[in-house]
């Protein structure tokens, strides 16, 4: 594996908390420095977004739509009996029992 000369630089500001999280993660991953870890992580993220990220988002979107349909169907199944119980069919006047004359 050859050495790649890096001549471009970017700069960004982090809060103390963000920096400490980045530093701890870079150490845990065995990176030589925070800068190396940030470069590798950023490159990984951008390479993943070359189609993979979009495909993942589309799949998640489809899954959410399916869950929405499933929840609606379950709601209909649960609400159907409840509505029938709360609104029983009304008897017409001829079918009503008249207990006063019995």
pLDDT for 49: 58
Is 5 among the domain residues? no
Q: Dump pLDDT digits (tens) for 35-94.
A: 999 999 888 877 765 567 778 888 999 999 999 999 999 999 988 877 666 776 666 545
Q: How many whole angstroms separate alpha carbon 46 and alpha carbon 60? A: 19
Is 58 among the domain residues? yes
Q: How many whole angstroms separate alpha carbon 71 and alpha carbon 74? A: 5
Q: Do 40 and 59 reside in the same domain of the chain?
A: no
Provide the domain count of the chain.
Answer: 2
Is 42 among the domain residues? yes
Q: How many whole angstroms separate alpha carbon 66 and alpha carbon 51? A: 23
More confident residue, 1 or 85: 85
4-13, 14-23, 38-47, 86-95: lowest mean pLDDT where? Answer: 86-95
DSSP string computed for 20-77:
HHHHHHHHHTT-SSHHHHHHHHHHHHHHHTTTHHHHHHHHHHHHHHHHHHHHHHHHHH
Q: Do 55 and 82 reside in the same domain of the chain?
A: yes
31: containing domain: 17-48
* 29 Cβ contact list (under 8 Å, min separation 6): 37
């Amino acid at each position: 594996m050859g050495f790649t000369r890096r001549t471009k630089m970017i700069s960004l500001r982090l809060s103390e908390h963000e920096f400490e999280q980045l530093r701890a993660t870079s150490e845990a991953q065995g990176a030589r420095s925070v800068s190396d870890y940030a470069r590798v992580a950023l490159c990984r993220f951008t390479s993943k977004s070359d189609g993979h990220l979009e495909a993942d988002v589309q799949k998640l979107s489809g899954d959410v739509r399916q869950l929405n349909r499933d929840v609606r169907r379950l709601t209909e199944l649960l609400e159907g009996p409840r509505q029938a119980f709360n609104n029983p069919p009304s008897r017409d006047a001829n079918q009503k029992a008249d207990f006063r004359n019995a």
